Amino acid sequence: MLETDVLEAFQDTMRHIAAPVFAITTRHQGQRYGIIATAFSSVSFDPPSLLTCVNKDTSIHDPMMSADLFCVNVLGNINRDVADCFAMKKGDDRFSVGEWIDQHDMPVLANAQSSLVCRTRDRHRFGSHTIFVGEVIAARHRDNAKPLTYYNRRYIDISQAPDLA
Ligand SMILES: Cc1cc2nc3c(=O)[nH]c(=O)nc-3n(C[C@H](O)[C@H](O)[C@H](O)COP(=O)(O)O)c2cc1C
């Protein structure tokens, strides 16, 4: 397989993996920053920890390199407006849609499916991205939320998926 074929096949693969959608946020020197991300994994329960991969070219990258904390907001279907706002706006204007509250001084989306405030425990540069490993220090969760999902370049509602049975 040629190199370009591998890249295309990888991109095609990733496009067809349905992924939950996150608003990654932080605050640094009084300024709020946020991006939409799908690159997320839990790492361990001991300690409770997760990772997210952030492109070095994004506005949140350098603040996340300096800040001690960040927040992973797991978006539900009702937070689609927040995802759209993040895509259309820049800087603090990204927080103009949705009710954003402070927890540990981090921007937390009040009606997200879940919000996990993390202390950054490790930063690992790889290729175009930095992998941020965070230890969860505070968590909020909304029962019965339906996850916003990204699939084949668009947002879908997996609660509408037909039963497999
Ligand atoms: C559904 C979706 C998933 C994304 N996932 C990631 C991601 O995991 N990591 C990342 O660095 N950027 C990701 N992006 C891109 C950033 O959200 C986008 O490039 C960023 O907001 C633009 O950078 P800026 O903050 O400098 O404007 C994703 C975008 C979308 C729409």
CATH of domain 20-153: 2.30.110.10
User: Which regions in the chain score pLDDT beneath 50?
Assistant: none
Provide long-range contacts, Cβ within 8 A and 24+ apart, for 88-93.
90/59, 91/31, 91/33, 91/59, 92/31, 92/32
Pocket of ligand 1 (CB under 6 A): 21, 35-39, 53-55, 58-60, 87, 90, 150
Distance from the alpha carbon of residue 85 to the mean position of ligand 1, in angstroms: 13
Predicted local distance difference test score (pLDDT) of residue 4: 75
Q: What whole-number distance in Å separates Cα of residue 76 and Cα of residue 32?
A: 21
Q: What whole-number distance in Å separates Cα of residue 119 and Cα of residue 93?
A: 25
Predicted local distance difference test score (pLDDT) of residue 165: 58
pTM over 0.85: yes
| CA-closest residue to ligand 1 atom 19 | 58
Q: What whole-number distance in Å separates Cα of residue 159 and Cα of residue 165?
A: 15
Q: Where are the domains of the chain?
A: 20-153
Best residue among 11, 35, 55, 123 to mutate for probing ligand 1, ranked by most atoms within 8 Å of CB: 35
Distance from the alpha carbon of residue 103 to the mean position of ligand 1, in angstroms: 23
Distance from the alpha carbon of residue 161 to the mean position of ligand 1, in angstroms: 26
* Ligand 1 atom at minimal distance to the Cα of residue 129: 11
Burial level of 28, CB count in 10 A (0-12/13-18/19+)? middle
